[in-house]
Every structure is written in C-alpha cells, then in structure tokens.
Chain A
Amino acid sequence: MTGYIVRRVMQAAGVLFGVSILVFLLIHVVPGDPVRLALGTRFDPETYEALRQRAGLDQPLIVQYFNWITSAATGDLGVSFRSGRPVTQMILGRLPATLSLAFGAIVVALVMSFTLGTIAALRQGSKIDHVATAISQFGISIPDFWMGILLILLFGLQLDLLPPSGYVSPLDDPWRFLQHLVMPAVTVGVVSGSILTRFVRSSVLEALGEDYTRTARSKGLRERTILVGHILRNALIPTITVTGLQLAYLLSGVVVIEVVFSWSGLGLLAYDAVLDRDYPVLQGAVLLFAVFFLLVNLIVDLLYSYVDPRIRY
C-alpha cells in the first residue's frame, strides 16, 4: 500500500510537470500583453519596457518558465500583475469558498443520486422510475448558469428567501454562510447529481439481478438489509469513480457558477485573471486545479481498495 502511494505520488509529480509546461506555454502563446493592459491606452515606452523587465517578460520563455517553476516548487507562485499581491496568498484566500462550494455540491449530488437512483432501480418501470429518469435528464440537459439565474430570480428576488449572491466566510457568520451556500451548491449539485443518478440506478439494477442478491434473499434477510448490506455495497464501486470525477471537476472551480453567484472562489479568481492577462495568478490557479485533480483521483483509487476487497495495491 505505502509503495503504491509513493509510486502514485511520483507519477503525479510527473504529470504536474507536464501540466506546468502546458499551462505556461498556453498562457504565453495566446495573444494579449499584460503590461500594455495594465498601462491603458496611453503610455510611455520607457515605462512599458521597465515594467516588462520588472515582470521578467523580456527574458526568453525558457528562462521565464524556469524561474517560475523553481519558485513554484517552494510555494511561491509569484506576484499578481494586477494587484501586486503574492499569488499564493490570493489563492489560499479563495480556497475556502471553492472547497465549501465543491463539497456542498457533492453532498447535494450524493443525496439526490442515491435517493432517486435507488428508488428508481427498485421500482424499475414504474411511474417513480420514469419521474426520476425525467428529473435526471432535465438536470443533465439544462445549462447550470441558466438554472442558477432562475433560482436567483425565484428564491433570491421573487420569494426573497435566500441571498441572491455573494460569499460570506463561515468564520465570520456560519448561518449566513450556509444561506449563501444553498443556491450555488444546489445549482451545481443538481447537475452532478443528475449524472450520478443514472450511475446509481444502473449499478443498483445490476446488483439486484446478481446471484448474490438471490443468495441473500434465500437466507431470509430483510429487504432493507439486502439493499444496504449487499446491493448498495456493490453499487458503490462504480459510483465512486464518477463521484470522484465530479468532485475533481467541482474543485477546479465552477467558473460560470461562481461568476453568476459572485462566489469569490478560485473559479472567479481564474476568470478575472484571464480578463486581466494576470499570468502569475492564472498559472497558479490552473496548476492548483491540476493538483486537485490528481489528488482526488489518488483518493478515489485508494477508496476503491477499501470498498472492493478484490482490488489490492
């Protein structure tokens, strides 16, 4: 197990290295000059050159990359062109918002998918099954930002039940934090939940038809024991992969939703950085998304061996 984890972390480091090169190149190759953007339409060529020099933009790309990656390895992601603040500090400041939205959404998704998916599978072909399938089809089809706007209009403005947008730190006011979290978490969670519902439904259906379920019935166990102890336990295995992918996606900042709800997380940070050509911030954010992805995948693989004894590392 330890050997496996070490191997996986080494692999992850390799992937990260590749990602860092790609991110760096992509950002530097796309048109747009951050210094020119920062200076506005009228500027002095000397100031321009001086600023470029200070940001290191006059050096060859390879040197720029090397400088960036060596300091990134020590946790220093550089300084924002725009605000002049250290990027690492900016990212850490945004992390709680993104983490809370991602985990809030995944909770919504899991509750929704396991409830709907299991009921639909147990009552296959019934009205409940059709309704559940329709809901998940709906959730997959509608664009999340549109649903977000509708929710804001309905609950935020029309009914005035929830704050329409914004983020409040749970340390400042836990109750208001939760109130602000509900709508974005539901918006994102319903999309992920709809995808997961289909997986849960088909996994439960498959497990229902398995011989071991018949064996469990032949022992005289209660239906609930069979469902929880035998069927869901097996249905969990394929579902974990999809849940992991969804979580990784959510952690990489749900950009559009964070914009719609003014949720000041990493997605919004990256979005602003793109508009401002704020290279260091954008590079740092994308690199962090890659780290999240690798980390979640590693955790999923480790969880696998926990829920499925046939898998041993």
Chain B
Amino acid sequence: MSQTQTAAEVPDRSGDPVLEVRDLRVRFGTKRGTAEAVNGLHYDLYPGETLGIVGESGSGKSVSTLALMGLVPEPPGRVEGEVSFEGRNLLDNTEAQWRDVRGNDIAMIFQDPMTSLNPVLPIGRQVTEHMLLHLGMSQSEANDRAVELLERVGLSDARRRLDSYPHQLSGGMRQRVMIAIGLACKPKVLIADEPTTALDVTIQAQIVELVNDLQDEFEMGVIWISHDLGVVAGIADRVLVMYGGRVVEEAPVDELYADPSHPYTLGLLGSLPVLGRRDREELTAIPGLPPDPVDLPRGCTFRPRCPYQLDERCETERPPLRDVGPAHRSACFYQVPDQEEPGEAFDV
C-alpha cells in the first residue's frame, strides 16, 4: 500500500483535467429556510489522480459529489455553478443526458455495502444491468465481463457468485462487488463516498489498496470522500478539507499532514491518534458542533469553534482561500506558526 507517495507516483497534472468544478453551489429549501450545503466549491481532477475530500458530517462533502452525478433531488435541492467533464458542463444536462453519464463516465461507490446492494436481486444482475444499457452488451457478454471484474476485485469463484445474493456475502465482499459495479463501464471518474467506513480495519486496508491498483489500471480520476484523515493519507494525492460547505484548506497530501495551515485542519489532525508517538499526551477534540447550514455564522464559518480568532475580520468577512505554499491554500486570516503541534491550541 502506498502509505507515502513518492514524487514519481504523483500523477501528471500537465494534461487536461478530466473534471473541472467551478463555483459549485448546492442549496436546499427547508421549512426553516435555505440550507447552504455547498458554497462555491472549486477544484480540478486529473486522470489517475486521487482527490481526498475530508470533513465532518454535514460539511457538504457527500452532497457536492452527488451534484457531480445529477443526483441531488431538485426540488428541494438547487445546484449552481459549473462541472466540466470533457469540456461539457454537466449541469446543463437533461435527465436523459445525465443517465448517460451516471455509471458510465462517472461512477460512484457508497459507504454501506450492506444496504447499497439490492437484497432481492442476484449479484450478476446488479453488476451487469448498466453494462447492457451503456455498453450495449448482450447478457452473456456482460456476464463474462462481470466474471472478469469480480475476479479482478478479488472474489473467488466469480462465475458461481453471479447467482449469489448480497446476504450470502460478507461486508468486505459486498464492497468488492460495489467496486465491480462502479468499474463495470470503465468510468473516467470514480467517486468513493466513505467506502471503507462500514468495514473493519483489515478489510479497509484491502479495499484502499484495491482501489489504488484499479485506478492505475483504469486511469481514472478518483474522488475519495472520508471523515478519516488516516484513510485519506493512505490514498489521496491531494486533499480538500471542507467545513460548512466550503474548502478551508487544500494541499498535496504530504504537505497537508506535514504543514497544516488552517485551524480546523490542525484540530482534525490533533484528534487523530498517531502510532508510536509518545510525546502527545492526549487526543484533542474540537469543541462545539458543525455549523447549521440554514444559519451559517457571519464571517468565518469556523470562528465559533476556533481557538485563535486573532484577526478582526474573522467576525465580519469570509476568509478567501489564499496561497500559503506551492499548491497549498488555506482560508484563514491568521497564519498559524509552523512549530505549533496539531491540536495544541485546542487543549484547554
């Protein structure tokens, strides 16, 4: 497993990005008012690159990727901005055009493999049904490909498994089936929405490794959503840290862990146990709760939980993303000193 990426492994970013997200906004009309779930997301994804999106529940990370597939229910949802895929703005898609994209150009694997597979349909049908649709295969061609895919994701006795039902497989096996479903039509972008959260740790590592290998093989751009910085460290090339529907920090993965800049990232890293480190006495928690998307705080959305708040603009202005290093940007008015340990400021 590529726990640390060497320079040679960093994907080539000189070509064209496969996905360009510009000022993506997702809002939901609720009884209490408008919930601003995603507020101006901006990033590029290159072929072969893995982008980690990290944040707490409600930070907008999952919703932002559902928007990439046209799966935000409208109404009550409302998606604005631009998502360019192969030079085309997906947000102009009709429903029929979206269906062509989903599962074909952009595929998604979900968090809970126990509930994401249909319990009453055999595995084979679930792996093949979109191949018939998108690739125009016959059922027997699709079955052959399904067997190949299932073998590739590590399912033994794949031919026989086509007739199995989800309840006959373990959680890890089901997630492998989900991955096979995701890869079936050779998508250019694979969105992995916390695919390892529901699995136990040894299986997690296997799944991470599997997706890593498959990514090289399929030359896909991968968006890996997680609340777990540890998992993201193992797979991502670049990381976006989201808070209150915004990116608060963006950096190459090594840089983010070595030199975090935003107070929220510092807090997240401080809450992460590090094996073999004895000098850190205890894990720190970020006090308070994530912001309410219907009633986002004025100024910096992280301000109510921030231990610094050292700039007068914190209360009045939304801090813009600004460069703090090469390819490293942070949305904070205050520059945290380099020597400070992650989480230190959160110790009370």
Contacts and interface: CB of A to CB of B under 8 A. Distances in A.
Interface of A: 210-212, 214-222, 225, 229-230, 233-234, 237, 307-310
Interface in B103-131: 103-104, 107-108, 110, 112, 115-122, 129-130
A202 to B, nearest CB: 18
Contact of B120 (A218, A220, A221, A307): A307
A91 B118 CA distance: 46
Contacts of A217: 71, 102
A233 B119 CA distance: 10
Given A212-B118, A234-B118, A220 B99 contact: yes
Contacts of B101: 220
B102 A222 contact: no
DSSP majority for the B interface?
Answer: mixed
A233 B120 CA distance: 7
A220 B165 contact: no
Nearest to A207: B118
A210 B118 CA distance: 9
B274 interface: no
Given A218-B71, A221-B129, A230 B102 contact: no
Contacts of A237: 120
A236 B183 CA distance: 30
Contact of B102 (A211, A220, A234, A310): A220
Contact of B116 (A214, A229, A234): A214
B100 interface: yes
Contact of B118 (A215, A222, A225): A215
A211 B133 contact: no
Contacts of B100: 220
Contact of B167 (A210, A212, A215, A310): A310
A309 B115 contact: no
Contacts, number: 76
A234 B117 CA distance: 12
Nearest to A222: B99
Contacts of B119: 212, 234, 308-310
A218 B103 CA distance: 6
Interface in B57-77: 69, 71
Contact of A230 (B104, B118, B122, B181): B118
Given A210-B115, A309-B167, A220 B98 contact: yes
Given A234-B118, A309-B120, A310-B165, A218 B112 contact: no
A214 B110 contact: yes
A190 B121 CA distance: 32
Given A217-B102, A220-B104, A308-B120, 6 more contacts: A211-B116, A212-B119, A216-B118, A217-B71, A219-B129, A219-B130
Interface centre among B100, B112, B121, B122 (most CB of A within 10 A): B121
A212 B115 contact: yes
Contacts of B116: 211-212, 214-215
A309 B165 contact: yes
DSSP majority for the A interface?
Answer: helix
Nearest to B118: A212
A289 to B, nearest CB: 33
Contacts of B133: 219-221
Contacts of B42: none
B305 interface: no
Contacts of A215: 110, 116-118, 178, 181
Nearest to B105: A220
A212 B165 CA distance: 13
B328 to A, nearest CB: 33
Contacts of B103: 218-221
B22 interface: no
A312 B112 CA distance: 24
A211 B120 contact: no
B69 to A, nearest CB: 6
Nearest to B117: A212
A248 to B, nearest CB: 24
B134 interface: yes
B107 to A, nearest CB: 7
16 contacts: A211-B110, A211-B115, A212-B115, A212-B117, A214-B116, A218-B103, A218-B107, A219-B103, A219-B181, A220-B99, A220-B104, A225-B129, A229-B129, A307-B120, A309-B120, A310-B165
Contacts of A230: 118, 121
A218 B117 contact: no
A218 B69 contact: yes
A247 B74 CA distance: 41
B344 to A, nearest CB: 40
A40 to B, nearest CB: 63
A110 B129 CA distance: 28
Interface centre among A214, A219, A221, A308 (most CB of B within 10 A): A219
Interface centre among A214, A215, A222, A309 (most CB of B within 10 A): A215
B102 to A, nearest CB: 3
B121 A214 contact: no
Given A214-B71, A310-B165, A310-B167, A221 B118 contact: no
B67 to A, nearest CB: 13
A298 B258 CA distance: 66
Contacts of A214: 71, 110, 116
Give 3 nearest A-B pairs by CB, closest first: A220-B102, A219-B103, A219-B130
Contacts of B99: 220-222
A310 B117 CA distance: 13
Nearest to A212: B118
A215 B120 CA distance: 14
A311 to B, nearest CB: 10
A217 B129 CA distance: 12
